[in-house]
Amino acid sequence: MHEFTFKDNELHCENIKVADIAKKVATPFYLYSYKTLIDHYRKIRTAFRAINPLICFSVKSNSNLAALRALVRNGAGLDIVSGGELYRARLAGVNPRKVVYAGVGKKRSEIEDAVRFGILFFNVESEDELDEIQNTAGSLKKKVNVAIRINPDVIPRTHRYIATGKGETKFGLDFETVHKIFNSRWRYPNLNINGVHIHIGSQILDAEPFENAIKKVLEFLKVYKIEVEYFNIGGGLGIIYSIENPQTAKSFAKSVLPLLRKSGLKIILEPGRFISGNSGILVTRVVYNKRTPRKRFIIVDGGMNDLIRPSLYEAYHKIVPVSLREDSSDTAEKADVVGPICESGDFLGKDRLIPYVRRGDLLAVMGAGAYGFTMSSNYNSRPRPSEVMVIGRKFYVTRQAERHADLVRGETIPKVLK
């Protein structure tokens, strides 16, 4: 469920007409519903209430400060993967003891900042990284918590670009190496290696691969008598973009809770998309209509630089007119919804049944709250769009659209070229 619904043929975000927001905010823009964001966070919290896990929202899915602040205020922790995300996490006022830090390539300066901030866990992905964190913590005279990311080698049945839990990906460590690390804990006097971590992929629709991975890890800990305090089971819960039928938070919890409870470990979850995905849309305006002998095109002012998921993963995002006309259903005809970028891969949707639209009409690209703005770029020197959040009866611009001057910030023409 989300808060983007039609009332009297007008798409609303909670109780505000999207078209009214578009009168005040230039398109394209991302529009988020505070209520949907928090509702989805609470769904997971409620489903797992029996074990009271730490829920660390995955910042990479939606890093807008207002979204982070909203979740933090409601008790969430944050899952970060870079110094930049740490910076955002701090600005959002997160409790350092609710921050976990993953990623295969943490640099010394990033590790240092995170140690100083006092985060709860580093999720470590290699022996080199373990040495680097040991050295950093040693020179700062700090003791830090470390969880080892295990690659459980399971098949998560999702797009190959977003599957991480298979043996051949760069993520995590194999069981043998993990065993070796736990046997040499003494080598790391400044590390408290007291957790294990998995994250098997993203947009996973059924609980089975999670169950398999969790079982594998718990069995491993048991067989080798490895004692840890925490088990971070990652994120990856899939959502509905079109006709998917994903597990609910409740059914997911039902299948993994017995395993987790029995383990007696403290549990951490890192959902991103489940919380943010359906809490946002991309609002875009029709620039031109175009017909060729082969196709109908709707050219809009949002492109692959604003939302790259369709181009990159052939991801499906539902596209709907923001204002439906009486005859909308009669005029529906297949069209490609494309952006202004000079690439044939620049599309938001292909062969979609969309009613006749006029220049200047608004279209909404649904399910764009996760990996939407955060993957946007300035390609074709396009300023990135604004982000807007509806909170209660009002909407707030939570990030201004970039201006042309932002595009060249930091660039200089060397004197020799003047």
Cα separation, 150 vs 314, in Å, equals 29
Contact between 61 and ligand LLP per CB under 6 A? yes
- To ligand LLP, the closest distance from the beta carbon of 323 in angstroms equals 28
Residue among 225, 262, 292, 342 flagged as catalytic: 342
- Stretch 279-308 residues interacting with ligand LLP (CB under 6 A): none
Nearest to 201 by CA among 228, 165, 239: 165
Contact between 162 and ligand LLP per CB under 6 A? yes
The one segment of 36-44, 233-241, 283-291, 405-413 that binds ligand LLP by CB under 6 A: 233-241
Contact between 273 and ligand LLP per CB under 6 A? yes
Contact between 272 and ligand LLP per CB under 6 A? yes
Contact between 210 and ligand LLP per CB under 6 A? no
Contact between 79 and ligand LLP per CB under 6 A? yes
Contact between 102 and ligand LLP per CB under 6 A? yes
Q: Of these, 36, 62, 136, 203, which contacts ligand LLP (CB under 6 A)?
A: 203
With a CB cutoff of 8 Å and minimum separation 6, the contacts of 349 are 310, 316, 317, 319, 336, 337, 365
- Catalytic status, residue 13: no
> 195 or 321, CB closer to ligand LLP?
195
Write the binding mask 173 to 202 for ligand LLP: x where contact by CB under 6 A, - elsewhere. Answer: --------------------------x--x
Q: Of these, 156, 172, 236, 367, which contacts ligand LLP (CB under 6 A)?
A: 236
Q: Of these, 28, 165, 271, 349, which contacts ligand LLP (CB under 6 A)?
A: 271
